[in-house]
């Protein structure tokens, strides 16, 4: 397993980590399998979405904040229940196929670290799984 840090600067922020995952894959040299991209946090997550128009990420963040508003009817006293909800909706991880030594992402797909209670220094785990 590998690990790298991500520094976020806002309460809600999506950070494109695709290039970092690609670099680690090249260094690792796996031909066939899958890459598990995992966020070991409960108010963050990993998602795959478009990297061409930055408005897509803004729309996604804004809609998630309508689905789980910061000022909702929550009991948890830390004021970040919205982040916990978003984390479970988006998911703690994504699994991307590897073929011929490359991430088999679609043309418009990028891997995003999703911050839902920043700014913070966060970690991302990469685990390489064997293909058959």
CB contact at 8 A, 60 and 49:
yes
- How many CA atoms, within 13 angstroms, populate the side-chain half-sphere of residue 29? 1
| Interface residues toward its own copies, by CB under 8 A | 1, 28, 30, 32-34, 36, 38-42, 47-50, 53, 55-56, 58-60, 62-64, 67-68, 72-78, 81, 84-85, 87-99, 104-109, 123, 125, 127-132
Question: Quick one: 9 or 58, whose CB is closer to its own copies?
Answer: 58
Nearer to its own copies, 9 or 108 (CB): 108
CB of 9 to its own copies, least distance (A): 20
Residue of 86, 55, 46, 57 lying closest to 69 (CA atoms):
86
Q: Tell me the closest approach of the beta carbon of residue 5 to its own copies, in angstroms.
A: 13
Q: Smallest Cα–Cα separation from 126: which of 48, 40, 35?
A: 35
């Amino acid at each position: 397993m590998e690990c790298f840090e991500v520094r976020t600067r806002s309460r809600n922020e999506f950070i494109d980590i695709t290039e970092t995952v690609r670099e680690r894959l090249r260094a690792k040299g796996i031909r066939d399998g899958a890459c598990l991209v995992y966020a070991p946090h409960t108010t963050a997550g990993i998602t795959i979405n478009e990297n061409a128009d930055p408005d897509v990420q803004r729309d996604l963040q804004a809609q998630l904040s309508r689905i789980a508003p910061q000022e909702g009817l929550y009991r948890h006293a830390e004021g970040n229940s919205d982040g916990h909800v978003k984390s479970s909706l988006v998911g703690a991880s994504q699994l991307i196929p590897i073929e011929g030594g490359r991430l088999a992402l679609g043309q418009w797909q990028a891997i995003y670290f999703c911050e839902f209670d920043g700014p913070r220094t966060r970690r991302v785990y990469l685990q390489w799984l064997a293909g058959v």
